[in-house]
Amino acid sequence: MKLARDLRGISKIAFMLSLIVFFLLGAVFSYVWTMGFYVSKEFNLPSQTSMTIEDVKFFAEDPTFFNITVLNPSYSSSGATIDRIKVSTSDGKVHSVVSTLPPLPSTLAPGKSQTIKSFWDWGNYTGETVDMYVLIVSGSGPAVQAKTAFMNLTVTNVNFEPSITSASFNVTVASVGSPVSVDISEIFVNGAKLTNATPTLPYRLNPNASVTFILYRDWTDLQNETVSVSVQTKQGYVAYRSVTAPQVKLDVSDLVFFNTTATSFYFNVTVQNSASSAAKIDINKITAFFDGQNITMGATDVVPALPQTLDPNSTVVLTCAWDWSLFTGTNVTVAVYTVQGFKTSKEATIPDLP
């Protein structure tokens, strides 16, 4: 009797489990049938491939590339072949990514995603919002806006000191608020690379720091001209600044030869520092060049004695004792030099003796 009761109990449990299983199966089949009906009637799934851009990452450590992650959704009708990647910047330019890893074109199956390393130099667009486009062979290519990493490398000052020297000038570079250090590797002036600077290059510039370089380059040929300085880093960042170099306009306005006696010969050289000059200068040497000879006037040969300071918009007459009687009829070039490195000259013919 006990065995019969146990069998009846097991049969009831089995029957209840069977009911539960059939109920669940019925519910599943009902859901599938219902969704199939509504999907076919109410939802328009794309007939072509439709990709999405899942993520775009820029790295401040290296502005030569960015990573873009794309997804071919599971509901896409087929694999998607990525053909090109383009970037549109705020200046109205459209930039094509010419190199990627993996190389393009690349096919992505439905339900698959891929991160593509895209080589494009965005160093001139730091901290800007750009438009990203992924172009595919057929179907809908996605687009998204992304912001490049922030960097603030700037040339804050280009400083010429005409009252001190024309042999060098200073360039100050700052990295205010930048998230990473950079290595300044090259400095160009009007497109020409400078190799002599203090401190020496390369130079590591940390975030929120600045450095002033002394560039050893004679800038007398740049006076009153636009000077364009570009500072480049190993990481690929470039900072620019253009200024007008100051001018020191010296002129020998007059050159006259005299003799007072048969043994006393001299010449007067009149030197003018223009009103447009940016600084005073200090005359420290006078030379006479003729017939391949270059004679420097001695310390006791010039009155007033050298060095002689000459302010802007001022003139000085320097008397130079020199026996020119043996060189009459000869062309001579008298040159005036300054401590700061500026110079001027004038050519004349040594007169015959009276």
Q: Does 74 score more than 60 pLDDT? A: yes
pLDDT of residue 141: 87
Determine whether 144 is exposed, middle or buried from the number of CB atoms within 10 Å of its CB (0-12, 13-18, 19+): middle
Mean pLDDT value of segment 111-138? 94
Mean of the per-residue pLDDT values of the chain: 89
Domains of the chain: 52-147 (2.60.40.10), 153-244 (2.60.40.10), 250-349 (2.60.40.10)
Q: Torsion-angle region of residue 191: left (phi > 0), alpha (psi -120 to 50) or beta?
A: left
pLDDT tens per residue, range 190-215: 999 999 999 999 999 999 999 999 99
Q: Does 5 score more than 60 pLDDT? A: no
- Three-class SS state of 334: strand
Going by pLDDT thresholds of 50, 70 and 90, the confidence category of residue 40 is very low
Pairing status of strand 238-244 against strand 250-261: unpaired
Q: What pTM was estimated for this model as a whole?
A: 0.78
pLDDT of residue 167: 97
Can you tell me the distance from the alpha carbon of 153 to that of 173, in angstroms, rounded to the nearest whole number? 7
Nearest to 231 by CA among 177, 313, 154: 154
pLDDT tens per residue, range 204-254: 999 999 999 999 999 999 999 999 999 999 999 999 999 999 999 999 999
Q: What is the DSSP string of 110-175?
A: TTEEEEEEEE---GGGTT-EEEEEEEESSSB--EEEEEPPP--EEEEEEE--TTT-SS-EEEEEEE
Going by pLDDT thresholds of 50, 70 and 90, the confidence category of residue 138 is confident
